[in-house]
Structure 1
């Protein structure tokens, strides 16, 4: 669907559709009395309206913004729009030393696999065909390596393949999965349930790293056909460029690669059949068995990764507090999306109206409300940083960069309120056509007070159904770890995350403005406003008194 952003920009310039500023008598100097500030809160919350959310989103999620892909033209356009709104609403730009005080600029690293192979004597095995490297590589140039076999690569309390093994600086070859005993149960768990040693390759990587290995090669599949099937998705993923934070050049973890049975057995001067027989022997023995393989001695590996910088920016607007200005509440949403796919038939633009244009425009509206309150003498006691972050879709990179390079000290950061995908119904709530809900995630994980504030503000002002389904530590979706708030939470900063859930338009070109329920988005944004107002104006900073997962 084509949207005409120019017309909306013209209407915005004329002030059409803007909420009216509440009429409040201006006090002499900033108000710091909690009761007075509480009394005027609803007046400023009322400036956050469905009409204004719609006005902003119709522009930011239009085709002109080309899906706001990180580092590309549309993302830059969105950054300019947000920064202009912050500036015109009276927020200050807190970033010093750059050309734009509203931008925290930094370089991501765009990288792609280049030349890669592994030679064993006269045999040559190719990257993307016979092996796939996951993550970074210490083999930018061809290197001779020492190879050692370490069974399944397991190092658990009741089972270790590393006993009496010196793997320091070496390449460790291990079998995928984990061994079963003669009774059919897994040896690690003692049950029919596999452990992380069999389910998550990172567990074996961490064990190899702990013992000083340079890399761990996991023999995957029992034959070439099975290897190709199991690694198909890695092949598709690895063939595309990826983005990450700029590498420090230090290889913190052992490199990881999935290797074919033929390549893996050749590294050990054996055959796939004899290699897999080792697994059978382990199961029969009920514990680790020393491998009787003689590792190849003439092994060289190259797995180069070509990298180039990609400039991008977080957009920051700041409202300085009054008597508690050194303490900061941070409000976030990500303004990037996934861009354009020219291979599609029909609509090729992923406008990202819900993901996360909806959260972005909520942040813009909250920023305007708090800035107006300050102009009227009712500014927050604590400072508030409004931040729309880049590169969330690439792995929460914008918020991770801020957490590692904060404009305001993390120890002074009171809480983070994060808004991602509001104003829609997920599949579960579509069944009853119920849009009067919000998934509330994370408020109780680090602070019982934040959870209490969230519930009290909702009951007093908004009356949404607070759905805690995804707050359950056993929920398989693990949304608590999947949006920008987590980069604050992992640094011990209490967070609350507002989210309406996933629908059929998620990461599709059909995620369009006309599907947003702006009345629902207004209520969620107002809840975020009231929680932020309370966090910023209460007498005492909220406590950090919990340690839930």
Structure 2
């Protein structure tokens, strides 16, 4: 037997939990009775609303996210959950937008029209703004500098205004549909100029020739920032490299002074395979200033108080993020809305289903002994903002928080399981054995008792190149030493962060089964004699 195959086989075996080898619990008839609320039909009712086009992709700080927050609040209220934030279901987050209050570009004394002739992005402007003027600029073609081709040969760009094509490279062919590759190539061009101390870059961008209303609105909305002392201090120190994008017509106006045009210079470079850089004697000036505008932004919390006089001070948190990435105007095809049905409409739906099950239990006199906080957070796609805010501004004491069970993407079949017999009977269990061996054992016992799914621990591997353990809201609890489990379907390709993440592609029976696994685990945690001990170091090793 090939040793390499043996090793890989062993590793694969160890990464998957086999429920047949785990001693199950005694099934709890009450838990099973109230789990019936967690079903595919109820899941569809919620997700078909939250992931509809009307919610515009639920981008943080925008209308769709506000609509989702209102929907979740109203549902929590209808169940009889309490608003734990001074009577409110909303935990407000200090989110602001830094949009431009002034942006100006003139060529030979003639003002250009913003969002038609030019665009200055908010993230290219520091808090103090910028202003510059010059009697000339350097046109440096595609802004490429490598061993075989150099648009900057013999040119010192220090202190200069440099104009280049935002996209393209005469030495290679880039796929225009590969947005990541295009962005990386653009970043390399800008970084070269910043490192060589150019004063500013002017990017010739054909996308401005027909700027959509959606893209214009995105520019006008500015740069979102979750405001904290640390972020404000960091922004005050930032001095971003000045960048202005211009249309083809505006570029032609500048190049005309140098007796050429966009099409002429592109043809020349293509024919000769040589740079066509030159200094153009044109008067150019620009300025921009930012203003701060508060934005509506909130986590949505529903609280179910425990029934035990002593244990009710301890809180189990169930999380999912209700935000997604909104609208992508440049997405290929007619559909531009990233509905986020799986990411994370599915996990949010899971939280709503569990809230229904536990409130039904309480109304029947079978409520949990410990308290449960159902929390759908915002801003996950921006950088785990909502859970980060909660970790810094907890509604309930961190020391009383016994665990976080986080459902983020539980409605699809990930690439590893596509077309396999177990495709509709698995879940990636992430982090269950990082901080608490007791929680890890309980998770496996619950699964062996009720749901009998494959628990795949692939993403607990410290060598995981995707770093999945660090990429969802549970991590902001884990970093505080709170035991967590992150339930995840592993869908990383297919329709990840694309308009194709639609309700029609959700496996609702599988979503419900995964939510039931989370619910049964929550039931045991909320009713157990003791909270899970933190006996591991956060990386799965025994604490010293």
TM-score by length of 1: 0.62
Rounded Cα–Cα distance in structure 2 between residues aligned with 1:250 and 1:76: 25
Partner in structure 1 of residue 57 of structure 2? 67
Q: CA deviation at 1:405?
A: 1.2
Rounded Cα–Cα distance in structure 2 between residues aligned with 1:135 and 1:476: 31
Q: Does the 8 A contact of 1:71 with 1:311 survive in 2?
A: yes
Would the alpha carbon gap of residues 521 and 222 (structure 1) be closer, same or farther in structure 2, given more than 3 Å must change?
same
* RMSD over equivalenced CA pairs, Å: 3.7
Task: Report Cα offsets for 1:392-431 as digits up to 9, x if no partner.
Answer: 1111111111111111111111110000111211112114
Is 2:43 the counterpart of 1:43? no
Q: Does the 8 A contact of 2:91 with 2:299 survive in 1?
A: yes
Residue in structure 2 matching 1:428, options 416, 424, 430: 416
Task: Report Cα offsets for 1:443-495 as digits up to 9, x if no partner.
Answer: 11111111111111111110111111111111011111111111111111111
Partner in structure 2 of residue 535 of structure 1? 525
Partner in structure 2 of residue 182 of structure 1? none
Partner in structure 2 of residue 544 of structure 1? 534
Would the alpha carbon gap of residues 322 and 507 (structure 1) be closer, same or farther in structure 2, given more than 3 Å must change?
same
Partner in structure 2 of residue 318 of structure 1? 303
Residue in structure 2 matching 1:495, options 480, 484, 498: 484
Rounded Cα–Cα distance in structure 1 between residues aligned with 2:196 and 2:220: 24
Q: Does the 8 A contact of 1:329 with 1:532 survive in 2?
A: yes
Residue in structure 2 matching 1:463, options 444, 449, 452: 452
Task: Report Cα offsets for 1:41-73 as digits up to 9, x if no partner.
Answer: 111122211111112111111112221121222
Q: CA deviation at 1:365?
A: 0.5
Rounded Cα–Cα distance in structure 2 between residues aligned with 1:368 and 1:395: 29
Task: Give 3-state SS (helix, strand or coil) of 1:251's partner.
Answer: helix
Rounded Cα–Cα distance in structure 1 between residues aligned with 2:384 and 2:518: 21
Partner in structure 1 of residue 372 of structure 2? 384
Q: CA deviation at 1:374?
A: 0.7
Task: Give 3-state SS (helix, strand or coil) of 1:243's partner.
Answer: strand
Q: CA deviation at 1:545?
A: 1.2
Residue in structure 2 matching 1:108, options 95, 98, 119: 95
Is 2:427 the counterpart of 1:450? no
Rounded Cα–Cα distance in structure 2 between residues aligned with 1:106 and 1:55: 28
Is 2:37 the counterpart of 1:53? no
Partner in structure 2 of residue 175 of structure 1? none
Would the alpha carbon gap of residues 340 and 138 (structure 1) be closer, same or farther in structure 2, given more than 3 Å must change?
closer
Q: CA deviation at 1:87?
A: 1.4
Q: Does the 8 A contact of 1:336 with 1:391 survive in 2?
A: yes
Would the alpha carbon gap of residues 256 and 486 (structure 1) be closer, same or farther in structure 2, given more than 3 Å must change?
farther
Q: Does the 8 A contact of 2:427 with 2:489 survive in 1?
A: yes
Q: Does the 8 A contact of 2:124 with 2:242 survive in 1?
A: no
Partner in structure 2 of residue 358 of structure 1? 346
Q: CA deviation at 1:318?
A: 0.9
Q: CA deviation at 1:362?
A: 0.6
Task: Report Cα offsets for 1:223-262 as digits up to 9, x if no partner.
Answer: 99xx999xxxxxx9999943221143752696476799xx
Higher relative contact order (CA 8 A, sep 6+): 2
Would the alpha carbon gap of residues 494 and 375 (structure 1) be closer, same or farther in structure 2, given more than 3 Å must change?
same
Q: Would you say how many aligned residue pairs link Structure 1 and Structure 2? A: 383
Q: Does the 8 A contact of 1:317 with 1:385 survive in 2?
A: yes
Rounded Cα–Cα distance in structure 2 between residues aligned with 1:476 and 1:62: 33
Please show how residues 180-329 of structure 1 align to structure 2 within 5 Å: 241-248=222-229, 251=233, 255=238, 306-323=291-308, 324-329=311-316
Unaligned runs of 5+ in 2: 1-24, 104-120, 132-190, 204-214, 244-286, 540-544
Rounded Cα–Cα distance in structure 1 between residues aligned with 2:367 and 2:413: 34
Rounded Cα–Cα distance in structure 2 between residues aligned with 1:133 and 1:75: 22
